[in-house]
């Protein structure tokens, strides 16, 4: 058990350092999802099953999805040079 925990710890720490020094945002977001998934594994080891489910569904999946959506959106803006300002409904 303790070796499993050590391996997971190392993966998490290396992963989170990699996020900071990763050049591509997409890869960084993906690694962040993996780190969250590992955290969910840790919660299972710590007998926190509710937290593990929540972390896996919200922390790992939905947050990563949001990162991908917004990176996509930023790329679209970059490509088309969209810079229209809105004026309605201040």
Partner 1 sequence: MRANKNYVIFNIAVLILMLVATLYIYKAFNSKAPGRRIMSVPIEKRVSYRYITKSVLNPTERRVVFGETGYEDGSANLVTSIVVNYRAFDTLLEVIILFTATAGVLFLMRGRKRTGYSEASLIVKTGIPIINLFVAVTGIVIILQGHLTPGGGFPGGAVVASGFFLSFLAYKYKANKTVFLILETIGGLGIIIVGLLGLFLKLSFLENFMPLGPIGGFFSSGIVLILYILIGIKVSSEISNIGIAFVSHDEKEGL
Partner 2 sequence: MKYVPILLILPLVSAFLAPALGIVNKKFGRFFNPILYGLGIFFGILLFINEYPESHLIVIGGWRPPFGINLYISPLSYIGIIGIYLLAFFIHIADIENPRSSYYNLLFALFVFSSLGVVLTGDIFNLFIFLEIGSVAVIALSSAVSERAGTRAAVKYMVPSNLVAMFMLIGIALLYSSLGTLNIAHITASQSLNGAIALVIGLSIFTSLFFEAELFPFNTWVPDVYKGSASTFSAALSGIGGLASALVLGRLFLTMMGPESSFKLASNQLSSILYIVATASILIGEFSALKERDVKKVLAFSSVGQMGLVALAFATRNPLAVSAGIILLVNHSFAKPLLMIVAGFFVKTTNETRWDDMRGVARQYPMMGVLFIIAALSLMGMPFFMGFWGKIELVKSLLDGGVLAWVGLGAILISVIVEGAYFVRMSHAFFEQPTEDIKIAKMGKMSIIIPICVLVTVIIILGIFPSIMQGFANHISSDLLNSNGYINNIIQSVSSAGVEL
Partner 3 sequence: MTLQHLFFINAAALIFIGVFGIITRKNIIKILLAINILETGVNLLLVAIGWRAGSFAPIVTRVHSDIVNFVDPLPQAMVLTAIVIAFGTTAVGLVVAINYFRTHNSLETTSFSGGSVKYDEDEVVS
Write out the residues near partner 1 by the rule CB under 8 A: 23, 48-54, 57-58, 61-62, 65-66, 69-70, 72-73, 75-77, 79-80, 82, 86, 88-89
Report how many residues bind partner 2 under the rule CB under 8 A.
3
Can you tell me the distance from the alpha carbon of 25 to that of 79, in angstroms, rounded to the nearest whole number? Answer: 16
Can you tell me the distance from the alpha carbon of 33 to that of 21, in angstroms, rounded to the nearest whole number? Answer: 16
Residue 61: which of partner 1, partner 2, partner 3, none does it interact with, CB under 5 to 8 A by kind? partner 1
Q: Count Cβ atoms below 10 Å from residue 81 Cβ, excluding itself.
A: 6
Q: Residue holding tokens 């998934």? A: 37
81 lies in the binding site for partner 2 (CB under 8 A): no
Binding region for partner 2 (CB under 8 A): 85, 89-90
């Amino acid at each position: 058990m303790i070796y499993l925990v050590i391996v997971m710890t190392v993966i998490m720490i290396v992963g989170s350092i990699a996020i900071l020094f990763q050049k591509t945002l997409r890869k960084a977001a993906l690694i962040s999802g993996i780190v969250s998934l590992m955290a969910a594994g840790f919660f299972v080891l710590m007998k926190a099953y509710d937290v593990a489910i929540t972390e896996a569904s919200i922390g790992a999946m939905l947050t990563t999805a949001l990162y991908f959506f917004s990176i996509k959106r930023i790329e679209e803006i970059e490509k088309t040079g969209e810079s229209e300002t809105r004026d309605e409904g201040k």
